[in-house]
Every structure is written in structure tokens, then in C-alpha cells.
Chain A
Amino acid sequence: MAMKDENASTDENASTDENARTGYPENEVVKDAAYFDELRRAVKGTPLIALFGTSGLAVYKSIDSAQDLELRKQVESVTDSNSRKRLYKVSSRYHFLITALRYVTGAVPWLSVFLILDYVTNSFHYPPASTTRRIELTAAVLAISIVIFTLAKVAQVILWRLGSFTIRYLNGMYTGRRALSKTSEVNHRDTAELD
């Protein structure tokens, strides 16, 4: 019992130190890299081809934006100047890279539209003689255009996922499998605090 009390007291001290360092109030959830990795894992599984990945991409983009916002919030709340400087550097780099990725991936479907327009122009360069041939050609062009656009959207989703992962990894914000143990560790600490 005494040992349990001692552990709880150590946890409490660790929590107080953590809160003092980050400037968070006592019972507020610390949304660190592990938290967002766990969040990504929770919503994982949105099919890649579902509406060309549109809805899945929106989910991941919103999580990345939330992480960006949280980092900026953390910079404002940190009191220690060294930690603040370090966190500000990470936050501004992450913000810049995520914004750049947003523009780069956003351009991918538009590039496919140019490719489609070029293909359509070439296909109708010599107009077909009969009506049946015209219908066949139009149907074929339409089908190929849809395939090109679908591939571009899937490429956009893959690019976003890879880009986001690389940015987080390079900024030391990817916790991987450690996220689970970290989540569990923080939860045990929170539970101890509640007890």
C-alpha cells in the first residue's frame, strides 16, 4: 500500500512537472505526437478508392491540421524559453511543410485534367466518319478520362499519406508502435491522478 502511494506520488510529481513544462492545466489532455498517431490509427481503413479517396483524404488532412494547430498552441503555452525556442522551430517547420504538401498534392488532380484535355484533343483530331464510330470514340474517351482521373486521385491520397509520414518522421513526430505504450502509459498516469 505504501509502495502504491509512493508510485502515485512519483506519477503525480511527474505529471506536475510535465504540466509545468508544457504550461497545461492539471486535467487537460496533452495532445502529443503519440496522441495523433493513435488518432490516425483509429480512423485508418477508409477505402482508398472510396469516391477516389476524397473522404479518406479529408479525414487525414483534418488530423494533420489539428496537429499543426496543437503545436502552435503548445508554443504559446510553454514557459521555458529553451523548450519554447525548440518547439517553435519544429512547429514552424511542420506548418510550412504541411502547407507545401497541401498545395503539391492539390495540384495532382488538376494535372490529370490537362492530360485528359490533351488526350481528348488528340482523339478528335480526325473526326470519325459514321455516327456509330463517333459514339464509340466518345464512350472510349470518356472511360479513359475517368480512369486517368481516378488514378490521379488515388495518387493524391498516396502522396499525402507518404508526404505526411515523411514530414512527421523527419521532425521526430512519429512514434509508431511506441504510440500504444505511450498512450497506455499516459492513461495509467491519468487514472492514477483520478484515484
Chain B
Amino acid sequence: MTVHEDRLHAEVDRELDQIRSSCEGLATRSGLLITATGIAVPIVAARLTITTVNKLQPVLAGALLALGIATLLGILTLLPSLTTGPRASSLQLWMSIGSSPRTSSLLYDAKVALVKGGALRVAVMQAFFRLQALTTVTALALGLWYSARK
């Protein structure tokens, strides 16, 4: 393997690592938001059943719905698993075949394809997380509005 190829492989490895850490960071933040909404849902639901002011019922219902949507988006953010490299069986096969430009090229192309898939996955996760944060803030605003008007 030439120095040029070595550098390219190192760069692809760095990008795969970055994708993995980005996914982990998003998953942690999303998990924290899920915990917060999970605590808030029973409180809002209980308040909705005992509230007597009819005009404020839709506000609480809206807050509950926003919390539900935020929880769902959080679950969607956490759902996927990540493929960070070629299959072990393929790696084993390429090793058994021996050193050649073809196996080196196969390894590089497989990693590049996974980088493309991973980058898209991070983008979708980010979109889901932003929507989750937005719906949580909406629920919070509705809750505060309810408290002020009560």
C-alpha cells in the first residue's frame, strides 16, 4: 500500500469514527429529552383529568400531544444500529486471499460506501432530534401558558 493510499484509508477511518461519535452524541441528548418528556407526560395527563376550566383543556391537551410526539421522535432517533465497517466474513476472506491491490480497493470502496450511508443517517438523526427538541419546547410553552391563565 502506498503512502497516498494509506492517507486515504486513514481519512475514511477518521470519518467513520466521526460519524459514530456524532450518532452517540445525538443519541445521548435524545435519551435525556425522552426522560424529561417521560416525567412530564403523567403530570400533564393527571392535570388534564382534574382541570375544570373548559377553555384551558385544549391547551393541556396540546401540551400532552406535543410531549407524545417528542417521545416518539426521540425513540425514532435512538432506533437504528450503525454499520461501521465491512462484514467480518469479507475481511476474513480478503485476508485469506492475500495482499493485492484488488482487496485493498475493495476495503476502501466498502468503507466509502459506509461513510455515505452513515453521513445520511447522521443527517436524518439530526432532523429527528431537532423536531424532538422543538416539540418539547412547544409542550413547555403550552404548560407555562396554562399555569399563567389558571
Contacts and interface: CB of A to CB of B under 8 A. Distances in A.
Interface of A: 27-31, 35, 38-39, 41-47, 49-51, 54-59, 62-63, 66, 131, 134-135, 138-139, 142, 146, 180, 183-184, 186-188, 190-191, 194
A56 B120 CA distance: 10
Contacts of A183: 93, 97, 102-103, 106
Contact of A55 (B87, B97, B98, B120): B120
Q: Assign chain B's interface to a size class.
A: 35 or more
Contacts of B117: 43, 46, 55-59, 62
Contacts, number: 121
Interface of B: 48, 57-58, 61, 64-65, 68-69, 72, 76, 79-83, 86-87, 90, 93, 97-103, 105-106, 109-110, 112-114, 116-121, 124-125
| 10 nearest A-B pairs in the assembled complex, by CB-CB distance | A50-B80, A59-B117, A55-B121, A42-B90, A190-B100, A42-B86, A55-B117, A58-B117, A58-B120, A187-B97
Nearest to B109: A39
Nearest to A180: B93
Contacts of B116: 58-59, 62
